[in-house]
Structure 1
Amino acid sequence: MDNYPSSLRRFFMMEEEDDDMHFLLDDDEAEVATYNLLVETESSRLHCRSDGPPKVIRPRDLPFGHNKIKSDYFVPNPVYNDKQFHQRFRMRRPLFKRIKEAVKNHDDYFKNKYDATGKEGLSALQKCISSMCILAYGVPADAIDKYVCIGDSTARQTLHNFCRVVIEVFGEQYLRAPNEAV
């Protein structure tokens, strides 16, 4: 018993005491007491995540991504014209802007924020572009990292929030159950 860590020794000693007191408790109370002791023992140990590689944080130039998107599509003389925008996003530019503004006004997740160090976060434009690309082409979340400057886990979270907000905002008016004609 001396080879075990102190928490396990304490557990075994308490188990022996529980066996002596078992006749005082009914089966359900004994199970609950044993379970609570196990939870207490487990939670008192230090948990380390050693089963996977450490998380790698890649520095991204988020304002560059926003400015690149803006100069390619949303300035008075953009790199890509209306026809190319429609081909890439499968919708016209005014519709995209309307969706972006509605999503941004409905949920704070899509508003531009700053982190604890004062660095600017992703813009609503970047979040909407990434979601639209994933929806329009079915590309994986990590495929848009170079252009939008967004990580794959953030892109997945953004897509989830985007779909939720679009359903909340436009669901009553535009989303309907399929009928026999469809």
Structure 2
Amino acid sequence: MDVAMVYQPIEEQRQWGGSIVGCFYKPRNRVMTHANMMNNYFNPNSVYTEDDFRRRFRMRPHVFKRLLHDVHQVNPYFQQKLNRAGRPSFSPYQKVTVALRMMTYASPADSMDETYGMSESTCPDTFAELCNTIVQL
């Protein structure tokens, strides 16, 4: 077996696949997860009732919307922007929902990826931003 064909020098090997060392890009459809969440909880004729919302979020929908409005006005982190690739970032609804779910259920950050498409590294940032904004308000 020819060793030269198997071995690649370290400088030619790809070190990582994403923008952070050791992380790989996972295409998450933020628009689809936002639309799904809106259909489930926030749109007229949503899948889940107000009682379901209250049980799952531990607050009434109008309290959630007031909180969303207030943090959106105070902290630019909760305003939806375009990323460097021109794709929309997470919506304010997604950010507040993930942070509240982590707080309410003591959910680990990696469990938010499946439902909301938010990476394990983004969830703690979102949680911290929400907590700091609530204290500020």
Alpha-carbon distance, 1:123 to partner: 0.5
Amino acid at match of 1:55: C
State the distance in 2 between where 1:151 and 1:116 align: 17
The alignment status of 1:127 with 2:100, answered yes or no, reads no
Alignment TM-score, normalising by the size of structure 1: 0.63
State the distance in 1 between where 2:22 and 2:79 align: 30
The alignment status of 1:56 with 2:21, answered yes or no, reads no
Amino acid at match of 1:146: E
Alignment TM-score, normalising by the size of structure 2: 0.83
Structure 2 equivalent of residue 106 of structure 1:
74
State the distance in 2 between where 1:92 and 1:132 align: 13
Alpha-carbon distance, 1:58 to partner: 1.0
- Give the aligned length: 118
Structure 2 equivalent of residue 75 of structure 1:
43
Report matched runs for 1:23-34 at 5 Å: none
- Structure ranking higher in helix proportion: 1
State the distance in 1 between where 2:69 and 2:38 align: 15
User: After TM superposition, which residue ranges in structure 1, 4 or more long, deviate above 2 angstroms?
Assistant: none
- CA RMSD after TM alignment: 1.2
State the distance in 2 between where 1:90 and 1:117 align: 36
Alpha-carbon distance, 1:74 to partner: 0.6
State the distance in 1 between where 2:44 and 2:23 align: 41
Whose Rg is larger? 1
The alignment status of 1:117 with 2:85, answered yes or no, reads yes
State the distance in 2 between where 1:93 and 1:121 align: 23
Partner SS, residue 142 of structure 1: helix
Equivalent residue for 1:143, pick from 82, 86, 111: 111
- Share of identical aligned residues, percent? 30
State the distance in 2 between where 1:153 and 1:165 align: 19
State the distance in 2 between where 1:114 and 1:153 align: 19
State the distance in 2 between where 1:166 and 1:145 align: 24
Structure 1 residues 33-61: Cα deviation after superposition (integer angstroms, max 9, x where no partner): xxxxxxxxxxxxxxxxx8xx721121100
Structure 2 equivalent of residue 95 of structure 1:
63
Unpaired runs of at least 5, structure 1: 1-49, 170-182
Structure 1 equivalent of residue 11 of structure 2:
none
Alpha-carbon distance, 1:147 to partner: 1.4
Structure 1 residues 62-97: Cα deviation after superposition (integer angstroms, max 9, x where no partner): 001111110001111010001000110100000000
